[in-house]
Amino acid sequence: MNQAILSGCLAALVLALTGCQTISYYGQAIHGQCQMVSRQRPIEALLNDPATPEPLKSRLRLVLEIRQFAEKELQLPANGHYLNYADLGRPYAVWNVYAAPEFSLEAKTWWYPFVGSLEYRGYFSEARARRYATKLKAEGLDVHVGGVSAYSTLGWFRDPVLNTFIDDSNGDLAELLFHELAHQKLFVAGDTDFNEAFATAVAEEGLRRWMRLRSDSSATADYEAGARRMKQFVELVSAASAKLETLYTSTSSLTDELKPAQIDFLRREKLRITDELRADYQRLRAEWGGRGDYDRWFEQGLNNAQLNTVDTYYSLVPAFRRLLQKHSGELAGFYEEVRALSKLEEKERHHRLVSGEETIPGRPSTAAR
């Protein structure tokens, strides 16, 4: 799609909405997506161009291999995705803004056409993201800004390979592409936690299979060690979130009517819990022999919005892993049951996923056949 057509389509969408802030937000989205489209070059052309640096050619060849594996072995709809490359000239594709009340882990959501409510607001400019974050902070919200190396347009455009992730390790690159292509496979409007956990679980399984195929024992060992560290990190953050949830719900009212003494108490306890989280991470880091996998995450001001980013991606992942295991790793049956879950109301969907209740009546799992 050329830039003029793209601008026309998105401008029509903007005009259907109201409010200066909304128009400004979608204006930057139009510009950012147009920039991405205009900077794309076909990977095949780059591979045939003598001027393309050999290291880049090597990475692009790997992308094509990963893409083919995703289609054939993981049944993911690659379609025309990741057949072009774009250098955006910046370290991240977008910067997401997350927010939550000061004394609640209930994530703030934003509504978008076609995809419903999401628990973040994305900007193609870091400066714009941080300006918006400052505005939300002034409203009394906990705010977190995080750079994102890739995102899925859910089939509205053909997603390109970007400079923001092309130099990731082989395993990280494969996992990222599997994750984004999983969004093409299934996406439930308005259910961020379900969507991200599904894509994360698919990417994990895909990476295991891809590494087995490559028979790279060293890379497999590194991945498994990293996965164990991530599990420990997630458990650490989840435990802190649970403590905060207990703290917040123990207060009878979480409104502006809180008395000053209650507010002071909540702030002191919140700081104590986040300080404990930092200390627990340092102990965990020592167990890892000084590895600082999550140092940058902890360098930021820990708050409800930041803790929510971990919960969004990982809280439902164990349930998806169990569902895949229930189907003995057979992806067709797994995808069929996930699709059936996606048709339920959110509360029922999450309940059935976590509880393991049968979603397709009369259909035994693969393991039982």
DSSP 31-63: HHHHHHHHTEEEHHHHHH-TTS-HHHHHHHHHH
361 confidence band (pLDDT: 50, 70, 90): low
Per-residue pLDDT, 25: 81
Range of weakest confidence among 47-51, 88-92, 364-368: 364-368
Q: Provide the whole-model pTM.
A: 0.85
H or E, element range at 112: strand 110-112
171-227 per-position pLDDT tens digit: 999 999 999 999 999 999 989 899 999 999 999 999 999 998 888 788 888 888 998
Region 85-97 average pLDDT: 95
Range of weakest confidence among 15-24, 44-53, 287-296, 332-341: 15-24
Bigger pLDDT: 270 or 34? Answer: 270
Q: How far is CA 318 from the centre of its chain?
A: 16
20 confidence band (pLDDT: 50, 70, 90): low
50 confidence band (pLDDT: 50, 70, 90): very high
Q: Could you tell me which of 185, 177, 203, 199 has the C-alpha nearest to residue 332? A: 185
Q: Does position 57 have pLDDT exceeding 70, yes or no?
A: yes
User: Among all chains, which residue has been given the structure tokens 């008395």?
Assistant: 259
Per-residue pLDDT, 253: 53
Q: Torsion over CA of 89, 312, 183 and 194, rounded to 10 degrees? A: -170
User: Among all chains, which residue has been given the structure tokens 């009517």?
Assistant: 257
Residues 6+ apart with CB under 8 A from 12: none
Region 280-303 average pLDDT: 95
H or E, element range at 354: helix 346-355
Is the CB of residue 237 less than 8 Å from the CB of residue 310?
yes
Would you report the helix, strand and coil content of the chain in percent, each value rounded to 5?
60, 10, 30
Cite the beta strand spans of 243-334 per DSSP E: none
> 154 — phi, psi (to 5°)?
60, 35
